[in-house]
Amino acid sequence: MTHPHPHPPFPFGPALLFCPADRPDRFEKAAERADAVILDLEDAVAADAKHAARLALVESRLDPRRVIVRVNPASSSEFADDLAALAATGYRTVMLAKCEGTADLVDLERYDVLVLCETARGVLAAGEVAALPNVAALMWGAEDLVASLGGSGSRRSDGSYREVARHARSHVLLAAAAHGIAAIDAVHLDIADADGLRAEAEDAAAVGFAATACIHPSQVAIVRAAYRPAPEQVEWAEAVLAEAVRQPGVFAFRGGMVDAPVLRQAEALVRRARAAS
């Protein structure tokens, strides 16, 4: 079943790796390690290093098909200079930080945009933003969101997200799916917590996120493995889809009832397996 929305499929794999744009010595390695590298002009770069970061961006020669450039918020004083630097490159996929509505994308019409919904206003505007024709994906962010609420922590002492963060994650995922575009899950800041990252990435894949953003190269393999369906899942999905050709409509299969939603889930597993191969 195809979605009626005209957006193309998400062009990247599941592991997207942030790299500070003022560290050109890391660009090549980050691009090699991940499915796409996010060259970050925003939070990863100090104010006094922004100019050097833009120069490094312009001078870089990475494959544009595997590069995303995170620019500063449209309301910031840095935004115009970011766009000028971007225009001097071959990169055409942009991540817009702290987007708060459709007006923030006026100057990005010629780019494919991954929109970061990471403030209260941004999360609430996710549906309107997702409807724009050049928006390719929505991503959410927990820390900036909680800061925008006047809070001081997105997670409980056991590492789980607080309810408002879980709500924002679900809201952004639903908004993206409603408009036929991809959703990207937030970063896991505790680099040493491999088990926590694995659990979150497995959950993200299971509910329909297309990718998870990483902040360290060591997280890439964990995310890729989490998005790769187990062999028994792929075998079941292929078998039930083959059976559906022979038995149109609702049918019993290996002790369970199969209908259209189950077949769509099987199709999603096969797509994930192909993307990971």
Is 4 a domain residue? no
44-72: average pLDDT: 98
* pLDDT digits 0-9 by tens, 79-124: 999 999 999 999 999 999 999 999 999 999 999 999 999 999 999 9
6 located within any domain: no
Q: How far apart (Å, rounded) are the C-alpha atoms in residues 248 and 242?
A: 10
Could you tell me if 76 and 55 lie in one domain? yes
Percent of the chain with pLDDT over 90: 90
What length is written for the chain? 277
Give the whole-angstrom CA distance, residue 141 versus residue 123.
Answer: 9
Cβ-contact 127, 179 below 8 angstroms? yes
Do 238 and 218 lie in one domain? The reply is: no
Whether residues 114 and 243 fall in one domain: no
Asked if the structure places residue 2 within a domain, the reply is no
Residues 193 and 205 in one domain: yes
* 176: CATH: 3.20.20.60
In a domain, 220, yes or no: yes
The pTM of the full predicted model, rounded to 2 decimals, is 0.89
Residues whose CB falls within 8 Å of the CB of residue 29, separated by 6 or more in sequence, listed in order: 217
Q: Say yes or no: 258 and 219 in one domain.
A: no
Q: For 30-47, what is the mean pLDDT? A: 97
Give me the mean pLDDT over the 226-246 stretch: 92
Residue 172 has pLDDT above 90, yes or no: yes
pLDDT of 98: 98
Q: What is the mean pLDDT of the chain?
A: 94
Q: Give pLDDT tens digits for 198-223.
A: 999 999 999 999 999 999 999 999 99
Output the CA torsion 135→188→62→276 (10° steps). Answer: -80
Question: In degrees, to the nearest 5, what angle opens at C-alpha 105 toward C-alphas 150 and 115?
Answer: 55
Percent of the chain with pLDDT over 70: 96
* Tens of pLDDT, residues 6-19: 456 789 999 999 99
User: Per-residue b/e over 67-87, b at no fewer than 16 CB within 10 Å?
Assistant: bbbbbbbbeeebbebbbebbe
Expressed as residue numbers, the domain containing 259 is 231-276
Supply the pLDDT for residue 2.
41
